[in-house]
Amino acid sequence: MSNLPETGRSHRVNIRLVAIQILVMSLLLTLGGRLWYLQVRNGEEYQKEAAGNHVQQVVQPATRGAILDARGVPIADNETRLVVSASRTELMKMDDSGKAVLTRLAAILDMSPKTVQEKVRLCDAKTPQPCWNGSPYQPIPVTDEATTQQALQIRERAEDFPGITAEPTAVRRYPAPYGANTSQVLGYLSPVTDEEIEKAKNTDSPFLSSDEIGRSGLERTYDSMLRGSSGVTRYEVDNLGRVMGRAKSDKAKPGSSLVTSIDSRVQAVTERELLTAMKNARKEHDDNTNRNYKADAGAAVVMENKTGRVVAMASNPEYDPNSWVGGISGKQYKQLTGKKSNYPLLNRSIQGLSAPGSVFKVISTAASVRAGNDFGGNYNCSSSYNVGGQTFKNYESESHGTIDLGRALEVSCDTVFYDLAYKQWLKDGGNKPKKKAKDWFYKTAHAFGLGDETGVDLPNEVTGRVPDRQWKKDYWEANKDAWCKQAKDPKSYADKIAKENCVSGMKMRAGDSVNYSIGQGDTLVTPIQMATIYSAIANGGTLLDPTLGKATISPDGKAMKEIKPKPHGKLPVDKKTLKKMDRALAGVAERGTAAWRFGDAGWPQDKIKMHAKTGTAEVAGKQTTSWFTTYTKDYTVVMTISQGGTGSGASGPAVRNIYNAIYGVDSKGDLDKNSALLQNPEKDLPRVDGHGNIEARQDEDFKKRAKRASAGAPNAGATG
């Protein structure tokens, strides 16, 4: 436009028009720049925020897999309960926020409308329980104890109950077949914690705040396998929480089932016998403390020798595993974890510690042979033994003359092992230990697996302790200050011991080694360790990891995976010596300390060869611990009772009765194969049909058989 017509506008207006144009255009440029900043530079951040806006997760809990015994009988499964739930998003859409519906619901469920409303309100800082702590998009359970009648009413009048569902829902249950609680072995579930939810939030298997996970026992060891994976449905929702579409959905995968090697019938017998033995022990008088035995705790393990599979595992005091189901009350929890009830949650088979007493002598025997002593040599079983001015007596000061190691085991002669241990101690330098001390007795204990986990498939197994030189040193380091302080002004006997410990507690003294050789003193073992050792002697020397899990079965029943037994070591004993030890242990049952429970009590030793070792461990300030370790060709049975008395006295009848039940023997020794619960170890896995149902072989005649096993059983005796 070269020759603009005369506009009649002043110069001032023209300039201002240009200014307006510049101003206006810069405004638009500002918008463009800001748009670029938001969308292109920071776009990702907002995309995340937008995604968080719309997607809500609803988790469908997976059905937890069952735990079965070796015959397919469930020992932990799920019970269907009718759970009435309310959908908060549905209720909130109503004009009165669902008040009317909840009031109607309360009337049907025989609850107060207030309670129902409190249950479906959301928890926050100001809201006290009861309130719903989970996702507001998750149906909120109002009750899990609805009757069929109530559920039907709710379903039939669906138009009166929008947003309310009454669905059968799986709840964990421990059926305790044949009365076998198996409580500590099974463990328990408890609600997932906030931290665990947070941790699992972005994994494939996120938790629901109502989820429960295994806290102990098999429920914990096999938790991830039993739990399966929850289904997650991601819904796109609008700003009012209305569902607009299903973004992504993974179906819940039910957990696999676990077949265990537990035979519930043997388990029931074991639990019952342990309890009876403890009850009987409490009737016995303890001459040392001049009161009846307390028998405050006990444990028993039945294990297969060739596989390490655990057929039964009992721990007393016990508890009802169902007390955890549906949330445990504060009072119940206190009781389960309190001192007064002596901690029934502890599985004493793997967590109970005590000195082994004479059942340790198999280790001392092996150690003596390793140290160069002849198994068949001549050893003096005197009534007492002197070491450095200290007299160590034989049990009840009995003398058996000159015997070999086998006979020493049979009669449980302490003095023979005192002498062997003392001589080894001298060889290793005595009070001035050699740098490369052989320490056969301690090394052998380690080689037998003491002081170490057996690898049982249960959580929190304890290792026990072998009081070797290293331990002595460490222990002294940890305690010397306290000892030396106490020893400054020695008055009492305890003070004198403290003084001795203060001065020479780091040293392996002759008395320590002598005491150690018969399983007394600072040695601590668990029942499962002893079971592992004796089954190794029985199977030719292989230390097997004790296992309860035998196989896993996928929910559809198609994939069955056996859990193979694993060895974790070999006994450091040559075949010949092992055979001799085996013969000696049979001798214990035939003519030794356990003969009055087996050989002399009608046990069919010619048909079922019994091997045994008794033990009575002294505990400072407490009554003696009873140990009884036994085995046949196929099974090892170990029982221990804390403050229970002698090995064969307190535990003897119980162990005998367990064998009676397993083999179908009665108290007179008559063998009836039809009455046997488990004459041979269960080799087969339960059968599964095409629908994934696992066949459970219930034993209808169990009561009759179990009764026969214990009929006419003698009470506990004081000697052994």
Partner 1 sequence: MSTHSYSLSGYGPQKRSAWGRLTARDSAVWRLDWVMVLAGMGLSVVGSLLVWSATRNRTDLNQGDPYYFLTRHVTSLLVGLLLMGVTVWIGHRRLRGAVPFLYGASVLLGLLVLTPLGATINGQRAWLHLGGGFSLQPAEFIKMTVILGMAMLLAAKVDAGDREHPDHRTVLQALGMAALPIVVIMLMPDLGSVMVMVIIVLGVLLASGASNRWVVGLCVAGASGAVLVWALGLLDQYQINRFAAFANPALDPAGVGYNTNQARIAIGSGGLAGKGLFKGSQTTGQFVPEQQTDFVFTVAGEELGFLGGALIILLLGVVIWRACRIARESTELYSTIVAAGVIAWFAFQSFENIGMTLGIMPVAGLPLPFVSYGGTSMFAVWIALGLLQSIRVQRPVSA
The residue among 40 and 620 lying less far from partner 1, judged by its C-beta, is 40
Residues 527, 349: contact at Cβ < 8 Å? yes
Which stretch, 7-15, 69-77, 359-367, 464-472, contacts partner 1 (CB under 8 A)?
A: 7-15
- Single out the segment in contact with partner 1 by CB under 8 A; choices: 12-20, 113-121, 321-329, 515-523: 12-20
Q: Is 25 in the site for partner 1 (CB under 8 A)?
A: yes
122 binds partner 1 (CB under 8 A): no
* Residue 512 phi, psi dihedral angles, 5° rounding: -60, -50
Stretch that binds partner 1, among 10-18, 257-265, 607-615, 674-682 (CB under 8 A): 10-18
Which H or E run contains 245?
A: strand 243-250
**Residue 126 found at the interface with partner 1 (CB under 8 A):** no
Query: Min. distance of Cβ 89 from partner 1 in angstroms?
Result: 14
Q: What is the DSSP string of 375-419?
A: TTS-EEE-SEEEETTEEEEPGGG---EEE-HHHHHHTT-HHHHHH
How far is it, in rounded angstroms, from Cα 178 to Cα 175?
9
Angle between helices 361-370 and 414-427 (to 10 degrees): 40
Of the candidates 278, 281, 299, the one whose C-alpha atom is nearest the C-alpha of residue 183 is 299
Q: At a CB cut-off of 8 Å and minimum separation 6, what does 9 contact?
A: none
Yes or no: say if 599 and 605 are a contact pair by the CB < 8 Å rule: yes
* Among 25-33, 113-121, 551-559, 627-635, the segment contacting partner 1 (CB under 8 A): 25-33
Least Å distance, CB 166 to partner 1, is 30
Q: Which backbone phi and psi does 569 adopt, to 5 degrees? A: 170, 175
| H or E element, residue 630 | strand 625-631
Of the candidates 36, 145, 152, 633, which one interacts with partner 1 according to CB under 8 A? 36
Within residues 209-238, the interface with partner 1 by CB under 8 A covers 236-238
Q: Is 95 in the site for partner 1 (CB under 8 A)?
A: no
Smallest gap, in angstroms, from Cβ of residue 60 to partner 1?
24
Range 629-668, binding partner 1 (CB under 8 A): none
Count of residues engaged in binding partner 1, rule: CB under 8 A: 48
In the set 203, 239, 492, 674, which binds partner 1 (CB under 8 A)?
239
Comparing CB distances to partner 1, the nearer of 38 and 426 is 38
Please list, in sequence order, all residues whose beta carbon lies within 8 angstroms of the beta carbon of residue 357, skipping any fewer than 6 positions away: 518, 519, 520, 615, 616, 617, 618, 624, 625, 627, 647
- When binding is defined by CB under 8 A, the residue of 12, 331, 491, 668 that contacts partner 1 is 12
Answer yes or no whether residue 47 interacts with partner 1 by CB under 8 A: yes
**Nearest residue to 604 (alpha-carbon basis) of 674, 670, 653:** 670
- Nearer to partner 1 by C-beta: 124 or 606? 124
| Contact status: 152 vs partner 1 (CB under 8 A) | no
Which helix (H) or strand (E) covers residue 3, if one does? Answer: none
Nearer to partner 1, 88 or 400 (CB): 88
Using CA atoms, how far apart are residues 316 and 651, in angstroms rounded to an integer? Answer: 13
Q: How far apart are CA 341 and CA 592, in angstroms?
A: 37
Nearest residue to 546 via CA among 477, 629, 461, 622: 461
Nearer residue to partner 1 within complex by CB, 17 or 494: 17
Stretch that binds partner 1, among 43-51, 199-207, 313-321, 495-503 (CB under 8 A): 43-51
Q: Does residue 43 belong to the site contacting partner 1 (CB under 8 A)? A: yes
Tokens of 279: 């009850």
Residue 6 is a binding residue for partner 1 (CB under 8 A): yes
Nearest-approach distance from CB 132 to partner 1, in angstroms:
20
Following DSSP, what letter does each residue of 469-527 receive, concatenated? Answer: HHHHHHHHHHHHHHHHHHTTS--SHHHHHHHHHHHHTTS--HHHHHHHHTT-SS-BB-H
Prior bond of 567 cis (ω within 30°): no
Part in contact with partner 1 (CB under 8 A); list of ranges 23-31, 134-142, 178-186, 301-309: 23-31
Instruction: Report CA torsion sign: 470, 475, 478, 484.
Output: negative
Of the pair 38, 482, the CB lying nearest partner 1 is at: 38
Stretch that binds partner 1, among 3-11, 76-84, 114-122, 133-141 (CB under 8 A): 3-11
CB of 38 to partner 1, least distance (A): 5
Query: At its nearest, how many Å lie between partner 1 and the CB of residue 247?
Result: 10
Nearest residue (CB) to partner 1, 14 versus 127: 14
Tokens 């006990």 correspond to 298
Query: Of the candidates 21, 97, 127, 390, which one interacts with partner 1 according to CB under 8 A?
Result: 21
Piece of the chain touching partner 1 by CB under 8 A; list 39-47, 62-70, 498-506, 630-638: 39-47
Binding mask 242-271 for partner 1 (x = CB under 8 A): --x---------------------------
Instruction: Compute the least distance from the CB of residue 52 to partner 1, in Å.
Output: 9
Q: Which of these, 260, 299, 315, lies nearest to 76 by C-alpha position?
A: 260
Give 25 or 494: the residue with its C-beta nearer to partner 1. Answer: 25
Residue 480 found at the interface with partner 1 (CB under 8 A): no
Does 49 participate in binding partner 1 (rule CB under 8 A)?
yes
User: Nearest-CA neighbor of 516 among 349, 297, 367?
Assistant: 367
By residue count, the chain amounts to: 720
- Using CB under 8 A as the binding rule, the residues of this chain from 373 to 412 that contact partner 1 are none
Only segment of 14-22, 291-299, 476-484, 709-717 that touches partner 1 (CB under 8 A): 14-22
For residue 551, give both structure tokens: 């196989």
Yes or no: say if 393 and 384 are a contact pair by the CB < 8 Å rule.
Answer: yes
Contacts of 116 by beta carbon, 8 Å cutoff, 6+ apart: 102, 103, 105, 106, 109, 142
Distance CA 646, CA 285 (A): 12
If one asks whether residue 566 binds partner 1 (CB under 8 A), the answer comes out as: no
Q: Binding to partner 1 by residue 620, rule CB under 8 A? A: no
Structure tokens at 193: 């914690």
Minimum distance of partner 1 from residue 12's CB (angstroms)? 5
Contact of 450 with 523, CB cutoff 8 Å: yes
Task: Give the binding range for partner 1 (CB under 8 A) out of 24-32, 387-395, 508-516, 651-659.
Answer: 24-32
Taking the complex as a whole, the smallest distance from the CB of residue 20 to partner 1 amounts, in Å, to: 6
Q: Quick one: tokens of 379? A: 């050893």
**In the bound complex, what is the minimum distance in angstroms from residue 87's beta carbon to partner 1?**
19
Contact region with partner 1 (CB under 8 A), list: 90-98, 239-247, 589-597, 680-688? 239-247
Two structure tokens written together for 14: 């023209």
Rounded to whole angstroms, how far apart are CA atoms 272 and 285? 22
Q: Which 3 state secondary structure label does DSSP give 562? A: strand
Q: How far is the CB of 238 from partner 1 (least distance, A)?
A: 4
Q: Residue 97 CB, nearest distance to partner 1 (Å)?
A: 18
By CB under 8 A, residue 94 contacts partner 1? no
Question: Which C-beta is closer to partner 1: that of 49 or that of 700?
Answer: 49
Residue 51 binds partner 1, judged by CB under 8 A: yes
Stretch that binds partner 1, among 1-9, 335-343, 541-549, 655-663 (CB under 8 A): 1-9
As a dihedral over the C-alpha atoms of residue 335, residue 340, residue 346, residue 349, rounded to 10 degrees, the angle is: -140
Check: CB of residue 234 under 8 Å from CB of residue 56: yes
Q: Is 42 in the site for partner 1 (CB under 8 A)?
A: yes
Helix (H, G, I), strand (E, B), or coil: what is residue 292?
strand
Q: Which residues bind partner 1 (CB under 8 A)?
A: 1, 3-10, 12-14, 16-21, 24-25, 27-28, 30-32, 34-36, 38-40, 42-47, 49-51, 53-54, 236-240, 244
